[in-house]
Amino acid sequence: MDVVLFIIVLVASFIIVRIGAIAFQLTGLEWSLAKFQSLSCFTGTGFTTKEAELITTNTQRRRIASILMVLGNAGLITMIATAASALNPRKAVWARLSESFLPFSIPEGVMPWVNIIIIVLAVYVIYKVFTHKKLAKKITDSLRKKILRREIIKKVSFEELLMLTGGYGITRIDVREKSPFIDKSLAESDLRKKDITVLAIVRGDTTIPNPGANTKIMFGDELISFGNLENIRKGVSVIGK
């Protein structure tokens, strides 16, 4: 039972770190940095002064970091306790199974090693699943969609990403579920007619720089756009609806 609990907590930890990374990304952090910061907060390691300022100077990020730190400490304590308990010969996974189903009994001294092997294999398999490119992308996309639908994390404000240049600026527009532009190309969206130019599209882990007119807009996309600020604000109210 201790080994099973250890595996459950380990899987939950990987999922929490990934959710934390998505949450940080939604506040404006670049994806690779968001993943590192999420892991750093959860494990309590890896911070540098410059990167810590990215968290401490933003209210939403501080809240996300606090939750990750609390969950990380709780998860670490649970895994240490269950792993230590699993080394008890009488609590080993195979202790009862060997007594019930095998014609011979496994020596008690061997039982902890069986649990250790199970734990190591579980860590390896779970790590491979969450670092496999395609599987990790599917998990991340699924979690991101749920977060966006439920609006768990408030997107970074317009002003936070804005770079003013005489009435024009750059911002990130989030394409939500009910947007009328989903599955339409940039040309069909008529954004250029509104003096809005899409410089890049962030789609999950992929960035599409300088997208062509035939590039389709999809749910969950982030449009890095430049144009007239007033028109962009109107675009945000429509695209991000």
What does pTM read for this prediction?
A: 0.56
Range with lowest mean pLDDT among 75-84, 147-156, 176-185, 199-208? 147-156
Q: pLDDT digit string (tens) for 46-70?
A: 666 666 777 777 778 888 889 999 9
- Is the pLDDT at 1 greater than 60? The verdict is no
Whole-angstrom distance, CA of residue 171 vs CA of residue 229:
9
Q: Which pLDDT does position 215 carry in this prediction?
A: 93
Q: pLDDT digit string (tens) for 162-207?
A: 544 456 777 778 888 777 888 999 998 888 888 888 999 998 888 8
Which residues 6+ apart lie within 8 Å of 25 measured at CB? 31, 34
- Please tell me the CATH code under which domain 158-239 is placed: 3.30.70.1450
Cα separation values, 131 from 26, 119, 145, Å: 21, 18, 20
Count CA within 13 A, CB hemisphere, residue 119: 23
